[in-house]
Amino acid sequence: QVQLVESGGGSVESGGSLKLTCAASGGRVTGMAWFRQAPGKESEGVACIHFDDRSTCYGESVKGRITITTDNAPNTTYLQMDNLKEEDTAAYYCSSDRLPFPFQVAITSPMSLDLWGQGTQVSVSS
C-alpha cells in the first residue's frame, strides 16, 4: 500500500523560507501534488509535478514564490517556499494517485487523487 509522508513544516517570520518534502513508500507513483488548507478556508492546489518529464504546475497565488522539484530519490518531491507571507499559513498536504498521475487536473480537481499524506503545518508570522 502506497503511503505519503510530508515533512519540513514549521514556523517562520514573514519573508522567510521553508522547504517541504513528500516521500512515497510502498509503491511507485508517477507524480505528486501539494495542497494547503487554512482554518475556515477551502483547500487550495499549490503545485504539482510529473515525474516522467518533470512538468510542473502552480496555483496562481504562489507563482514566483514556490518551486516544486524532484530528484533522483524515487517518489520524492520538494516544495521550496520563499518570501512567505502570513496568508501562506496552512496545513500542507501531499497527494498522488495509484493510477497514472492526472497532471492536467492535479491541482484543480483534488478528487482525482486517491493518495494523501497526513499533512505538515506551516505558520508564518509578521
pLDDT tens across the length of the chain (126 residues): 999 999 999 999 999 999 999 999 999 999 999 999 999 999 999 999 999 999 999 999 999 999 999 986 789 999 999 999 999 999 999 999 988 999 989 999 898 999 999 999 999 999
CA distance 121 to 37: 10
CA distance 104 to 39: 27
> How high is the pLDDT of residue 74?
80
> How high is the pLDDT of residue 72?
66
CA distance 115 to 118: 10
